[in-house]
């Protein structure tokens, strides 16, 4: 089987990546767009485009009937969801299947299992993947909740069962604030994803956040593309990602890879995905969740492996992917990616709106920039504040850091505030250069 036409149910740089991948595969690409995105230049690079509704995501990029109607109108064989929006929505997968359209990603059953973080923990633990002590919140009754928490042990984290990006997450140091924090976490989770269910998990003090990029075909073969370090984050939002994770002992790297492969097989996964872990100060590794989609930071894994993971996703979904073999995955050098956002660090990282004008953009040896940025582009509050992903590759980490720092200096736009200066400060920081920073690194840096 192969696809003739793919509808891209997303926007921005990931939509452009899918357009590029489809063109290289000889597949017709159709870009779905909202009224707010009607003038985006990347739409002209698709074979055709179709408007799916007003600017508000709920009426366009999250509008399942509109997307299905568009797919049927233009005769799409498949839909690529990108990341965000409907990319991890099992109902959308089922609706696609009901209309004879292939969803480029995992099955609805697998997505539902992985999306339920408590169930995913149970599934991977059953095959020997280490998880932190934890349990689904059975009741918000104070007595029951306190008993559950004390059985796990403080400090702990309250997490949304179906959440992501830090939404619905609260750290609990003692039982005193447990009930109030649980209520706040549940309300935030319900507002973000429509479900306020929570689970408890033992908190790891000052961990590193590591993850492994995987790819699984329809024949049960799974390969991994090395580890990534995503510890440079603020309030659970990643700012910088790199591959491979710096300073890991060989045995830790091996344990990460083996755990990721086991977890992927345990949930019956097919497509590109990511398995996430925390690394404690004592060297122990624990599974925290699996993301059933391509991630923003997939670019660094592409750079060190020489693969196009979007093309791989499409070929797996179409059933024409050659059998995957770990021996074919060759990793080379070091890559670091930073997310340039239209946010103002001086004002608590508030999103910055306005019309962007380019002054200078970076390029050169070892530099990749994934973006749809152009002069005259309007940044609005309707969508994510991501302006560009800037990726630097080097033969080693020092070279990658130097290239990234120079590229950041050359990234200059006016019209909106950006995180450029903060990212440059991070990349030039001695602690970051030494490698192995933890998730509290940015918090400490901002306090200096």
Domains and CATH numbers, the chain: 5-104 (3.40.50.20), 133-202 (3.30.1490.20), 208-447 (3.30.470.20)
- How is the chain split among helix, strand and coil, in percent rounded to 5? 40, 25, 35
- For the question of residue 293 being annotated catalytic, the response is yes
Q: Is 314 exposed, middle or buried (0-12, 13-18, 19+ CB in 10 A)?
A: buried
257: Cβ–Cβ under 8 A, 6 or more apart, which residues? 212, 224, 226, 227
| pLDDT at residue 112 in the model | 95
Rounded alpha-carbon distances, angstroms, from residue 311 to 12, 35, 56, 97, 243: 18, 28, 29, 21, 20
The series of mean pLDDT values per 10 residues for the chain, 448 residues long, is 93 98 98 97 98 96 97 97 94 97 98 91 96 85 86 90 77 87 87 79 94 95 98 94 97 98 97 98 95 96 98 97 96 98 95 96 97 94 94 98 98 98 98 97 94
| pLDDT at residue 448 in the model | 87
Distance, in Å, from the CA atom of 136 to the CA atom of 287, rounded to the nearest integer, reads: 16
Distance, in Å, from the CA atom of 147 to the CA atom of 150, rounded to the nearest integer, reads: 5
| pLDDT at residue 144 in the model | 85
Q: Is 399 exposed, middle or buried (0-12, 13-18, 19+ CB in 10 A)?
A: middle
Token code pair at residue 45: 């690079």
Distance, in Å, from the CA atom of 371 to the CA atom of 390, rounded to the nearest integer, reads: 9
Distance, in Å, from the CA atom of 33 to the CA atom of 40, rounded to the nearest integer, reads: 9
Q: Is 54 exposed, middle or buried (0-12, 13-18, 19+ CB in 10 A)?
A: middle
Q: Given the residues 293, 307, 315, 420, select the one marked as catalytic.
A: 293
| pLDDT at residue 138 in the model | 77
Q: What is the DSSP letter of 351?
A: E
């Amino acid at each position: 089987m192969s696809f003739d036409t793919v509808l891209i149910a997303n926007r921005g740089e990931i939509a452009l990546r899918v357009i590029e991948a489809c063109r290289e595969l000889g597949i017709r690409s159709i870009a779905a767009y909202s009224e707010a995105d009607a003038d985006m230049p990347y739409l002209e690079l698709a074979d055709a485009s179709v408007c799916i509704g007003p600017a508000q995501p709920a009426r366009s990029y999250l509008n399942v009937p509109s997307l299905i109607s568009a797919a049927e109108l233009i005769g799409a064989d498949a839909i690529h969801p990108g990341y965000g929006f409907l990319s991890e929505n099992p109902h959308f997968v089922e609706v696609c299947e009901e209309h004879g359209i292939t969803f480029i990603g995992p099955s609805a059953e697998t997505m539902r299992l992985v999306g339920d973080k408590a169930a995913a923990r149970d599934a991977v633990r059953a095959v020997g993947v280490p998880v932190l002590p934890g349990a689904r919140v059975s009741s918000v009754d104070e007595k029951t909740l306190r008993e559950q928490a004390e059985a796990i042990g403080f400090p702990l984290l309250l997490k949304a069962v179906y959440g992501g990006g830090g939404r619905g997450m609260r750290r609990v140091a003692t039982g005193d604030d447990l009930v109030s924090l649980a209520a706040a976490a549940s309300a935030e989770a319900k507002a973000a994803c429509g479900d306020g269910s929570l689970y408890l998990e033992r908190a790891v003090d000052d961990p590193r956040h590591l993850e492994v990029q995987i790819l699984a075909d329809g024949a049960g073969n799974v390969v991994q593309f090395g580890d990534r370090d995503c510890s440079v984050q603020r309030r659970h939002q990643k700012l910088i990602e790199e591959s491979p994770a710096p300073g890991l002992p060989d045995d830790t790297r091996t344990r990460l890879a083996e755990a990721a492969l086991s977890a992927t097989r345990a949930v019956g996964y097919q497509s590109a995905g990511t398995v996430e872990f925390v690394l404690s100060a004592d060297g122990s590794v624990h599974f925290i969740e699996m993301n059933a989609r391509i991630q923003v930071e997939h670019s660094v894994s592409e750079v060190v492996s020489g693969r196009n993971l979007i093309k791989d996703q499409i070929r797996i979904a179409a059933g024409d992917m050659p059998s995957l073999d770990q021996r074919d995955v060759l990793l080379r050098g070091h890559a670091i990616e930073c997310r340039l956002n239209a946010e103002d660090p001086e004002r608590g990282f508030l999103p910055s709106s306005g019309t962007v004008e380019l002054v200078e953009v970076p390029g050169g040896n070892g530099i990749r920039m994934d973006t749809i940025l152009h002069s005259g582009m309007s940044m609005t509050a309707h969508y994510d504040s991501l302006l560009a992903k800037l990726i630097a590759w080097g033969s080693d980490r020092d070279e990658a850091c130097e290239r990234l720092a120079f590229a950041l200096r050359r990234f200059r736009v006016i019209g909106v505030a950006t995180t450029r200066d903060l990212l440059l400060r991070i990349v030039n920081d001695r602690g970051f250069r030494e490698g192995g920073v933890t998730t509290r690194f940015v918090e400490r840096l901002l306090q200096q």
